[in-house]
Structure 1
């Protein structure tokens, strides 16, 4: 029986859908790598590609907490800062490889997420938002006052390690883990909590445990995003991880669609590109972000994708519907 189950698991792993997905993932990687190698993608474009990748990771982590589990968090930038500073210490101060730095960054952010989640996730609604906001500001002020990491003047001389390979496969890992989590029993429990926490409790779901689990996973990936950021920008300042950064991440999630992985990806791409165009007008950036959020809330409160996901199956379905309409 165990051998049959093992073979069945292998066959499921190497089914047609997974093979096509793997082929697409590798094709995108090698195509972009080719353009980077021959100089077609310059430093400015690549910087925006890096920011898009980091924002996708951050948005997916927050979407898991806020969009799929229904817990309103305003301290996501705090976990990013933990990952950034831990990885910077490991690579710049201790001289260890980036792989160790990014792993320790993710684990550290996840551990802090667990410690913060234990008391705060027993709160609901506005109380949780205020508690996570306070956490983010506390973390920022802690780094402000630690001379070992540069304090208010910033942590510089961080080695450059974040390349296309690290960025791309970190994004792929995040998408795969979040997608599989949502489709698992734990993911369905989180969605049940979002829809009606009281009903979920009545059905025997341990709501606190699953909220903490989602919070820890979201913090884990925020730590990875912070590590990638630190070893690309090579300069960290506590101000970079304040309340406004948490709002930036939240806007991406809301813009793309709370409860949609595809929405987080599209939202990160769209808003990062908009932000790049607005670099010449930094004082208008938050105004325009606010206007975007305002119009989304009025005209499309569910966000760009709502809770829907983009897939090849969706395109085939739409194509079939169009063909039927033409036949009629």
Structure 2
């Protein structure tokens, strides 16, 4: 371990943290010491962690504020769910079907990231945030008015109602407008979620530590200086934005295949979801990949663990958010954390060795 670089040690620590959490959860599951509420949260925890890590690539590493991350999640969720429902009678092996659906969702979300990124990334700051927010809302509202069916003649599409599809009597309606998709196969589970989270961490952390990652961070720190030394600003911006969108699409695939009914409700893919993901990134530390995972898990579990407090649950949740923000970002909080780190005996030993 002494010969490993600092980045490698940090990456291995993050992987180990995720694997250890998975083993502990599996032990609780196997011994029956986990409540049904927590069982239902295992896959969503993986979804939110993937979303937080992927958004941190745009906000923390690239340095651009995006509020349309839920839109890319929505693209991945619905395209993969449509694919799975269409082939559920043809491909009967759940794992194979899920992997193909994952490929479809990731590719579609990544393509949307490129198409949106080309014009949008010319903007900066508040303007970029407003345009990406508009994209997320457009995607959500567009899905709510789509009707898609399939019969022996092929696919039928409408934006009016089910009757206007003009299908045969034995045809199958796949997307029912605001009612979404029903009867889709539930192929995802906690193990698949952990694997996808590890893959997401591997992709993001290796990108950050690569030559392309250093170019992206150079653009974040000083755009003019980066351009003056020959870094292609547009290329690296679109690269980071499209990878972030593709990973959000993977989270959407995992989310869609954990539910038998998928609807584009505001709470699922709307503005509030994008803000929630951004909160995970900010509280975990902008640019801190491991912090994003921890913040996503803690802030998702906290409201559920405080349900016994009834009306005071969200009050305590808000207080925790404020205290965490102060500890993470205020000068006094930073100084306090540095004092705690200096008191760590293991850290002292590392300094003595160095």
- Paired residues, number: 304
The Cα of 1:177 is off from its aligned counterpart by 1.1
Structure 1 partner of 2:229: 203
Structure 1 partner of 2:293: 265
The Cα of 1:99 is off from its aligned counterpart by 1.2
Which runs of 5 or more structure 1 residues have no equivalent in the other structure? Answer: 1-11, 307-314
TM-score norm. by structure 2 comes to 0.75
Are 1:230 and 2:256 counterparts?
Answer: yes
Q: Distance in 2 between matches of 1:50 and 1:92?
A: 20
Structure 2 partner of 1:253: 281
Structure 2 partner of 1:309: none
**Contact 2:81 2:253 (8 Å CA) reproduced:** yes
| Change in 2 beyond 3 A, CA 1:321/1:245 | closer
User: Which protein is bigger by CA-based radius of gyration?
Assistant: 2
Which runs of 5 or more structure 2 residues have no equivalent in the other structure? Answer: 92-96, 149-174, 335-340
Are 1:88 and 2:69 counterparts?
Answer: no
Task: Say which of 238, 247, 270 aligns to 1:242.
Answer: 270
Report the aligned-residue RMSD: 3.5
Q: Distance in 2 between matches of 1:166 and 1:212?
A: 28
TM-score norm. by structure 1 comes to 0.81
Q: Provide the secondary structure at the position in 1 that maps to 2:329.
A: coil
The Cα of 1:119 is off from its aligned counterpart by 0.6
Are 1:113 and 2:139 counterparts?
Answer: no
**Contact 1:83 1:108 (8 Å CA) reproduced:** yes
Structure 2 partner of 1:276: 304
Structure 2 partner of 1:136: 136
Kindly report which structure 2 residues correspond to 1:29-178, keeping only aligned pairs within 5 A, or say none: 29-30=22-23, 32-95=25-88, 96=91, 97-148=97-148, 149-178=175-204
More strand by share: 2
More helix by share: 1
Q: Provide the secondary structure at the position in 2 that maps to 1:223.
A: helix
Q: Distance in 2 between matches of 1:214 and 1:237?
A: 29
The Cα of 1:150 is off from its aligned counterpart by 2.1
**Contact 1:258 1:302 (8 Å CA) reproduced:** no
Q: Distance in 2 between matches of 1:21 and 1:59?
A: 14
| Change in 2 beyond 3 A, CA 1:70/1:102 | same
| Change in 2 beyond 3 A, CA 1:295/1:194 | farther
Q: Distance in 2 between matches of 1:16 and 1:253?
A: 22
Q: Distance in 1 between matches of 2:29 and 2:193?
A: 13
Task: Say which of 199, 216, 222 aligns to 2:242.
Answer: 216
Q: Distance in 1 between matches of 2:136 and 2:316?
A: 24
Structure 1 partner of 2:166: none
Structure 2 partner of 1:8: none
The Cα of 1:251 is off from its aligned counterpart by 0.4
**Contact 1:82 1:109 (8 Å CA) reproduced:** yes
Structure 2 partner of 1:3: none
